[in-house]
Chains A and B, each alone.
Chain A
Amino acid sequence: MSIIVSISKLSKTYASGFLALRNIDLDIRQGEILALLGPNGAGKTTLISIICGIVTPTSGSVRVADRDIITDYKRTRAMIGLVPQELTTETFETVMGSITFTRGLFGKSPDASYIEDVLRSLSLWEKRNSKIITLSGGMKRRLLIAKALSHEPRILFLDEPTAGVDVELRKDMWNLIRGLRDTGVTIILTTHYIEEAEEIADRVAFISQGEIIVVDDKVDLMRKLGRKRLVLELFEPLRFIPDSLSSYKMELKDGGRYMVYTYDVHSERKGITALMTDLGQAGIRYKDMTTEQSSLEDIFVDLVRRKS
């Protein structure tokens, strides 16, 4: 698979002295959906902004379709569509006026039927002559997507596209994104929800404190990271885990009053039934049980620990 965006040794120190990106190396493959996953403040927006030309890198380089984003910016930017994180839209312009502006800005000749398609696919066609100020938040989000698509980009960046978006629009958005991917558009989206990355991405890049911690195929990553914990509150505290249960990954907590079983969401779900049976046979009784999905934070902590 060919590489469409190649980021190498990219660092960014803001004027405040804050080091937002540290030595980022990342290759984005043509036609994939890549999720940049990381908590707030990790540097996702900074990374995207550099590639799009909004933020100046401090060091390192980015190549888009084998062209440097600084020396050859006209060509690289023409290929890129950006949906920003904030709902930044004009106010008094109409939907059509705004989208026509973007297309022109990117140097494309007018194409009424393409624009109509884009607006229809985002359910904005009926609103084409409305002033932007009259649109709801969800519609503004769709307008931003329409603007980014208006110049037929080959690479689409979506910065936290689902922030403040309702379930229905989210579903529409995923369908649209998959449709675009099927036409060969490369898609990079940022999110801090692991479920979201799981739902849509082909590959996931974890970013934390300005560093890429891991980049991997989603399926592999979820297998490695998608853990759940089953916590059993026992009637009688246990001093040790009986041999008959040694095949399970379990530990005792709080003086043996709790038994914690960590399991993989994807491959070991059936294990729980067996565990229950085995618990019964070992004569272990419990008052209560709860399950916890490992949070993104847990995963990060885990990853950072494993890395060092």
Chain B
Amino acid sequence: MNFRGVFAIYKFEMARTQRTLLQTVVAPVISTSLYFVVFGSAIGAHIAEIQGVQYGAFIVPGLIMFTLLIQSISNASFGIFFPKFTGTIYEILSAPVSHLEIIIGYVGAAATKSTLVGLIILITSGIFVPLDIMHPVWMLVFLLLTAVTFSLFGFIIGIWADDFEKLQLVRLLIITPLAFLGGSFYSIDMLPDFWQNVTLFNPVLYLISGFRWSFYEIADIPIAISLGVISFFLASFVIITRWIFQTGYRLKN
């Protein structure tokens, strides 16, 4: 294992974050605060409690998951897209690093970043609403598993995309709507039957539900199923990534 090589990629990617520290840290703090002002206070005042949890507190897990998904995908996709775009990818391809090592470096860095952002949101939320996390270990498991899974997805998108538009496309057209409709801000119980059933096809629902369970022990979906769904995604993305490297798809001629 070329640990130094993995670390070099990881460090390089993290350095990119440091240069945009303001954007990385301050932006989520501000947007989280806004969500609390708008959803928590303005709307929350009209919604009593959901399954015994105050509305402001209820949306915290969804809010974190929402940002985690978006951040994981953007960080990882940009991380690999950019060297492909500028041509500096030649260096990675000609270096003595294995496919696995390249993935650990890029996906590890992207997942670290988005996990940090998730934790920042968690802490910011604590300022607005009382938080009690019933299963902190499970919370971390969900946080990390989601960060890694969707960073891997972002990595795949970054390889697939051959222009900036495609890079944004998946995030804007698929992930953001799914995240919004995945129960970030409500329980699916609150939807009409028909839409409840439609929502069951939304993978993000399972992530948010599981994550929320680790906070308040309330869930739209049984926890085991949530875990199963995340694992299924992780496995699929691993298989796709393997295929990409084996065939050199959009990386090598």
Binding site for B on A (CB under 8 A): 14-15, 49, 52-56, 73-75, 77-78, 80, 82, 84, 86, 88-93, 97, 100-109, 147
Contacts and interface: CB of A to CB of B under 8 A. Distances in A.
A89 B252 CA distance: 19
B248 A107 contact: no
Interface size class on chain B is 20 to 34
Contact of B94 (A53, A86, A100, A103): A53
A90 B86 contact: yes
Given A93-B15, A106-B96, A86 B87 contact: yes
Interface in B10-40: 11-12, 15-16, 19
Given A54-B252, A55-B252, A102-B91, 16 more contacts: A52-B90, A52-B93, A53-B93, A54-B253, A73-B96, A74-B96, A74-B98, A82-B91, A88-B90, A97-B12, A101-B12, A103-B8, A104-B11, A105-B9, A105-B91, A106-B95
B252 A106 contact: no
Contacts of B15: 93, 97
Nearest to B95: A105
B46 interface: no
Contacts of A77: 94-96
Nearest to A110: B4
B160 interface: no
A109 B2 CA distance: 11
8 contacts: A74-B2, A80-B94, A90-B86, A103-B8, A104-B4, A105-B9, A107-B2, A107-B4
A224 B216 CA distance: 85
A105 B97 contact: yes
B91 A147 contact: yes
Interface in B75-126: 86-88, 90-98
Contacts of A54: 90, 93-94, 252-253
Contacts of A101: 8, 11-12
Contacts of A86: 87
